[in-house]
Structure 1
Amino acid sequence: MSKFNGLLFLYSLSAVITSALTVTSTSFCEVPDHNLSRVYNLTKLSSNNKDIIIKHDYPKETIRMQLCSALIKKCNNQDGYAICLIKNNTEKGIGKFPPEVENKSGRILFNFIGDNCSLEIKYTVQIIIKCDYNAASNSYPELFPHADGQCNLFMVWKTALACGQRFQTNCTVVNDGYHYDLSSLTRSSENYVIRIRNDMKSPKIVLNVCQSIIRQYGALCPIKSGACLDDTEKLNRYSSLGEVQKPPFFKNGYLQIEYQDGALCKNKNIKTPHIKTTIIFICVLEATETIPEYVDGMDDCHYQLIWNTAAACSIESLREYSVKTAGICSVTNPITNFTYDLQSLMNRDFTVVNTSGIKYKFRVCGALTDNACRIETGICNSKYNTSLGQANTNLIWQQGGPYLNYTNGDLCENGMHHYTVIGFFCGPEGSSNQPLLMEEYPCQTVIHWNTDLACEKRIKCTTNNDDEINLNPLIQSTNNYIVRANGTEFHINICRPLVPTRGLTCAHGSAACKVSVTSENEYTNEISLGFPEDSPTLNKDLQIVLRYIGGSQCPENPVKSISSNFTFVCDNNNQGLPVYKTYVNCTYVFEWNTSIACGAVIGGWTPPCTIKDGFLSYEYDLSLLYERRQIHYVKGKQGKEYSINICGGEKYCNGSAVCHGGNGYGSLKSVIFDYSRDDIKLKYSNGSKCNNNSYTSEVRFICNDSIGIGAPKLLLESQCSAEFEWHTEVICAKHANSRDADREKVPSSGILLVSSSHGKHAGAIAGIVLTVIAVLAALIYFRKPEKRARFRSWINLLSFRRGAGRVQYCRVDTTEEARLLFDASDPTQCQTDSDDDLLHA
């Protein structure tokens, strides 16, 4: 959750705090929940020994506070305060003790009022206590950014003390000897939210994985629910869609979770008395940070969702996939795309000692150099000079942390060779950062090592609005983006730290770096432009802004750190490159024209077989899919054979593009261009009768410019629906016909992009001839000054039209932090979160 996303709601609350629940000073940290007959005891969040200290870099200030008691150390030599602001060596009491406490609609709010901030306004500090099962009882609050001198401050304090009872199941399953683990999808402080339809007022499905829903603001679901329906149109807004009862299982070849015994089914034609929910998980090795999609079943009391995710792949296949992409002493987590890089531990000797006092000396991803044991030994028994395994650089991924496996050591028992496993783990804060000998057997040694290098820290690379824009396709895993401007280079990644590059030693974890390049192609004067701490947000123009903060020291203002801003502008159907614009107030500003920023756009169908995006004016002729074959046949897992004819379905199968056994799977309902995922969906509904419903289908076209026409394949099938996926070059940019000529431009990044060509030699010659003719015509035309002036006026007009025609998305945040402090009365109200808007909200 972006800190700035929450501010719009946070500042708004300062004028509307009502009906607070005030309790006595001795019990206000024991907060009752009358709906659950439960009391949240938050007293452990205060300390009897010392005050909690929160430091804030901008503005430069320190806050000293307690939640459940008065300050231990007086504020400005006065008693009676719980929160004290220290700035320029001056203390101000900004929160008097005790606070007002409210627990309403699943939101626990502490409201402190302090001394005068101005002649008419007093300081206020509002603290939301939020459930996080993974947060310890001694966690600290997070202070939201605010302007210097602002009178209203806001915090979010995540703690397990604010959590209710949770119901869990084992999240692992073994099938045909392969192991599966969906626990990485379990959320500890928020739930997944999926809309039934693409409109703002449609009901939402709230769910978690292998765990009951976290009960909080916007999710007041029955306590055992693994999934529930949030329908604001009903008096009883929340209803259970099934309880957490049994672990994942395989059925019909699909990994599934089923939540059973939900609310009573009101459809008299359904024999099952209670609503249930089935989530089908599809293994997609490249899919990270995805959420499930609603498929069908609302009317049948059996909600069905599909989830494309790497977490659904077997541990064995994930490990095999990670080996293929591994580097020297580095490996990428195939579920999260996080790269573990242990190269900083190489070329050093480390020692562990067993219970007998015998020392084992080893190196990480390299051989020892003292030759006490045989050559290429990675770990050596120093007493007997026995090789316990030969070194290698093959860091292997596994859930929980990567490991090294040093094999082919000296002979041990039964003709076997000794081997050693060194596992790296993300230990708790403050834990020892040294290796520890865990186990030793006649032929095996096991070493565990808690190190920060094994800790993942990643931000969500999507905007937190209902029409969320997904920037994940821009994330680089092998090479950084390089932008050249004014004799310098900017090395950039999106939402992630820079990919390690030889010679580039910018601060570890930086997402953007400015360097100078010597005549010997060496990097010098490296400056960090910040770290990926916050998710993308929307500015007042509804453009996506990604901010990196906390970079190198700002030269003109040493008390500030350098940051960088990236504004993503919805534009051509290609990813483009960032363009450096300016440097102002210690911030490097970039702009990026890319279709990724367009998100999902509703398109249209033009007979006989053309789809078009009404915003970018792109058209694709799908008749190219049928140049060689009129009908494509796809076999299902239950013996069904589907026929697909996108262009001629209305003529042969009851008006349906998808057909099986004379049953049509629906007429075209919608065309959705999802630029952030580089695919186009054709949704079909109201097909032939199927039980009490009708057949539906979906065909998802995915751009793949190296596969040709491609062929459809079945992705999911149920009794009354089918979903297909079709990788093809037909919907790639090179096949698009654009009616908006001003969008065809070359990225101004200083880097030449070369795309592969599939045209024939004759086409290339024709292109050259046409280009020469066009250049000659332009030279003749622009000889006269008035012609050049007229051309410039056209360009200006086109530029103006491009800015004025930008899609205005209506945004309502669905994540909990963005709605913690204010419940908008109008759920369709459009909002912005630019800095100016936030400060004046």
Structure 2
Amino acid sequence: MHLLFSSPSIHWQLVNGTDCIVRDPLYNVTFDFNALSSDLNHHVTSEESGERFFFNVCDDERQPVNRTEPRAYLMRAGRKITLGYEPRLQLNDGRFQFSFTGEPCLNGSHYTLDIILLCSYEHTPEDLRVIPHTPDQCRYFIFWDTPLACQPLPTGLANNRCTVRDGTDRHAFNLLPLAGANHEIPLPDGSRFVLSVCKPVRYGHLTMCPPGTGVCRVNGTEYQDYGQAVADPKVDTSTGRLVMEMRSKSATGCPNSLIVFECGREDGLETVPVYRGLKGNCTHEFLWRTPLACRDTRPCSVTNPITGTRYDLGLLANRTYTLTSRDNRTYELGVCHIPASSRCPLDAGACEVSAKQSVGLGAIASELQYETTGAPYLLYRSGAVCDATSGRRWETRLEFICETDPVEGGRTGVVVPPTVVENGDCQLVVHFETVLVCEPALMACGAYNESTIDQYVDLTPLVDSTRNYEARGGEAHGRRYFLNVCRPLVPQYGLSCRGGAAACEATFDGVTARNETTLGFPDVSLVVAGDTVLMKYLRGDPCPQDPVTNLSSTVEFRCQPTAGRGTPVLLEIEHGCHYRFDWATAIICPPERAVPFEQGNCSVHNAATGSWIRLDTVLEDLSPCDKRPTASVDYRAGALNLHYTVPDAVNCSHTNGVKTFNVAVVCAPDSPLDRAASTACFEIITKSSPKVCTFVGRNASASGDVTPTPSAVPTDPTGSPTTVPGVTGSTTPEPIGTHVQPDAEGLGAFGIIMICLTVISTLSAGTLYLVRRHPDRCHQLHSVLLCRGLIKNDFPSTMYSRVDNSETSSLLLNPSNVMSDSDDDMLI
């Protein structure tokens, strides 16, 4: 059998690469990994332990003499562990890996690092990831998705969309979401099929299929082509089925395959194909049930076949839109459905109106359509006769365009009026701008100042994926307002605004939240206006005062160096429809470039926050007092930056005999000095300390973070430095229905004890009642308490681990990425 179509049944162990190039002996394909080289080290952090790995491969200095700096190392608890100097590139049964061997570890072994390269056709592969491990392990694995580990793509499969329109040309099937991975089907004889749709089977460990294969039969170490991958599915004209026909390049046996896709709404995208056997026409048939094979039947909605995004225009329906063309003709129209109050003829979706009559321009329709080269549209056909000679009738085409103007137009939450772009030749064409057909990518969280183009304002430090901000200002009316920045709200118990909303209003009676109202979604990019930043959230719920308008929100960020992260404040509600919030924060303040240093008391002074701090209390290990450092403050990072040099003529002759130090002290819990990125003559040092929090405009986590002031600084009667109190940082939203009792109004020890005794007595009495009258309820109560971790069980919790793919699974030596039963609530 020709090597291109089936690999010989042999087992080859290992192929070594040279100069970052390795050749696969099965198909004579050369893999070149030189593009993985980086001018700087690659960097990946373990999510489980926080340990940091630094490495580089394929750089220009191959095999240098007496290399002193390791090519790969690990930073663990401030210690630098060498993982290796020179990597070995190997191809082992389809697995590409760079292998490092480092310093001694335990029991006579050495630290090792294996970087596993995985084939990925994605233009933006996933981030590097570290395999879960325990701290006492000596062997580590990093997984790297890259197109360089793939066989060459056939030309037709490089940029294919994997779509096809049905026979009516009204629906487009898009199977590209199924192309993210190989799919395996085990067979009774121990062999297996490996399938991939839209793209070829990914080359990998024990999956060394012939190039371009879409269906591959794997039997031990033999890999057979059972059908080449195709760019797009097709609709079988005789049966109406959605299929992919894959024909093998092999001329022997029955190597062709047919995949039949059927609608399966209940299965989701994670379904797998099923092998249905060899059919009469010498073709292996597979059945794949998936919602991607379902025709869109929901009214006024359509799926973008390129991105998979569903557009739903239901919010625009049931309204009459009146518009006037440039030639002063007046039209009325509806989207998918038009109210009975419209002046249009019965069943018409659009019409031209005058003082005496109305002319129907097409029958109403709710089937939203999409063309891959255009925009979603509605087509209203069979209107009034337009041309008596030819019998042509009027038709109307409504095209929906993503509203992109961040300042003008309807980005205030008001529906943008439709625009007539054509009203001749028996056709009315209307453009309708709406955010409902915009891709739901998260808004950019930064923008350039239009008046100072080189100033980039970034709100990323305010993005919070763990909690929401609660705005002040609605308490008097029993309302609470929740916001997040540049992202949807974090799911919060008791808060049920629409999924994906970034701003929410709830009526609060002191116990529960009711009448949750969505105030907008994060669709619009930021706008910088002078020294303020505007963030708009649109497409909220319909406004009670004006049903044609949707609720919206604007948050105005202002620079205030003493505010820390700051807290939003509700200023006003315009016309009952638009909510305006004010947010003073230090995050958007420009850096303080020159912070004065007083050598006499080794301190620096930030006039913007009114704070002093002694450097020798923060950086005692560096002895900064005699270095005369240049200081600056980065409000965005919450850091005090220091720059200074020291003489070192012996080791630093190539840098004019000086050694340079760049030190960053970040407002965070205490941590030791980190010199990870340092060299012999250039030190980059980072340190975390709560002592600088007030100095850099962040709120200190404890009192006394700022040291006593120098004698020249005015003090208050307590001897503390004169500072402007900052607004509290991001407010942790309480669970709905709770209230935090202020310290000054506490119940006291006696009150707390009495409450505890009352609760215990009530629980005891209730439990006794359940035991005597309802033993089944008692078992239920025990199960609930056990699940929530409130009582102990004699049996250890069930533990499980998740792995990304079979390649990762085969290398998972000591799984520690485990989760106990009590963690399951976190997944809800």
In the superposition, the TM-score normalised over structure 2's length comes to: 0.40
Larger Rg: 2
